[in-house]
Amino acid sequence: MNTLTLEKKTVDIHMESLSDRVGNTPLLPLHRVTLNLPASVSVYAKAEWFNPGGSIKDRAALNIIRSAIASGELRPGKRLLDSTSGNTGIAYATFGAAMDIPVTLALPENASEERISILRALGVELILTDALEGPEGSMNAVREMLEKSPERYFYANQYGNPANWMAHYQSTGPEIFAQTAGQITHFVAGLGTSGTMMGTGRYLKDQNPQIKLIAGQPTKSMHGLEGLKHMLSAEHPAIYDKNLPDRYLEIETEAAHEMVRRLAREEGLFVGLSSGAAAVAALRVAEKLESGVVVTVFPDAGYKYLSNKELWK
């Protein structure tokens, strides 16, 4: 136990690390956007911006780093290397700075100004790739760098590293099951790396096979929902199992944008674009029910999207 002396008073304190604050995020009920639902149907969202790096990606990034250190893949002298659309990169950078791990990231050049600025502030070496090539372009850039200098990097590979989905099996899933006292009937999540759905979904199915898993994705390959993938046209992440979800829903960019504004102005929840998409999908599921407990995740807050003036009109 550490001690802290203030004005001649000695106080016992427990010193927590940044990583101790990952997870155990609030599960918030949605009220006004659900007014048309039967009283026997509830919709909840995990508020993942309460993580220290500001998003759900803290869970996966921290588990990837810890697993790599334990295995010896990430050791002094190596840089962490990966591709990202922003949030996982911020998580890597946050824990990298705290743990003295240098980080190199590739991300599409059309990532929001805020995400790029945050990464630079945290000291990341950035490689911006062609926006038209999307996440695949960033992944290809990372693979080329790794091929040229394999001894320099630890390739975190969020799209293929099982530590990604295991983070959600070990934390997000158990938290949701406990917070709903096991009453959850439907879990809804967007697909990016797919780690949230793969890990949380597997845990929930292990607890109760009757829980339905619904995956949300953009309606087409060219869309405006940062962090989400159109799985029908995109390169599938290695950790993705298309057979795990019971159902898929396609979400229009415009519908997600409108929901982001509604959540801010009707619920006081200032969230990001993938959260808007998750809410659209969760409400569409809930509207078909006579009773049930629908849970989704809101991956991040809206602060990284303020430069999108059209969104906040």
Tens-digit pLDDT string for the chain (313 aa): 455 554 545 545 444 688 999 999 999 999 999 999 999 999 999 999 999 999 999 999 999 999 999 999 999 999 999 998 889 999 999 999 999 999 999 998 988 889 899 999 999 999 999 988 877 899 899 999 999 999 999 999 999 999 999 999 999 999 999 999 999 999 999 998 999 999 999 999 999 999 999 999 888 766 767 777 777 777 788 999 999 999 999 999 899 999 999 999 999 999 999 999 999 999 999 999 999 999 999 999 999 888 887 777 7
Q: Is residue 160 part of a domain?
A: no
Q: Is residue 203 part of a domain?
A: yes
Separation in Å, CA 111 to CA 59, 105, 254: 21, 13, 18
Domain span at residue 184 reads 7-51+166-305
Q: For position 133, what pLDDT does the model report? A: 86
Residues labelled catalytic: 57, 274
Q: Print the SS3 string covering 164-202.
A: HHHHHHHHHHHHHHHHCCCCCCEEEEECCCCHHHHHHHH
Q: For position 224, what pLDDT does the model report? A: 67
Q: Is residue 33 part of a domain?
A: yes
Of 110, 127, 155, the residue at which a domain comes to its end is 155
How far is 166 from 194, CA to CA, in rounded Å? Answer: 12
pTM of the prediction? 0.91
Q: For position 3, what pLDDT does the model report? A: 53
How many degrees, rounded to 5, is the angle at CA 176 between CA 22 and CA 282? 110
Are the beta carbons of 203 and 187 closer than 8 angstroms?
Answer: no
Question: Does residue 269 sit in the same domain as residue 293?
Answer: yes
Q: For position 11, what pLDDT does the model report? A: 47
Question: Does residue 181 sit in the same domain as residue 270?
Answer: yes
Q: Which two tokens stand for residue 34?
A: 């659900």
Tell me which H or E stretch contains 71: helix 57-71
Q: For position 13, what pLDDT does the model report? A: 47
Question: Does residue 138 sit in the same domain as residue 231?
Answer: no
Q: For position 312, what pLDDT does the model report? A: 77
Q: How many domains does the chain have?
A: 2
Of 122, 155, 188, the residue at which a domain comes to its end is 155
Question: Does residue 148 sit in the same domain as residue 42?
Answer: no
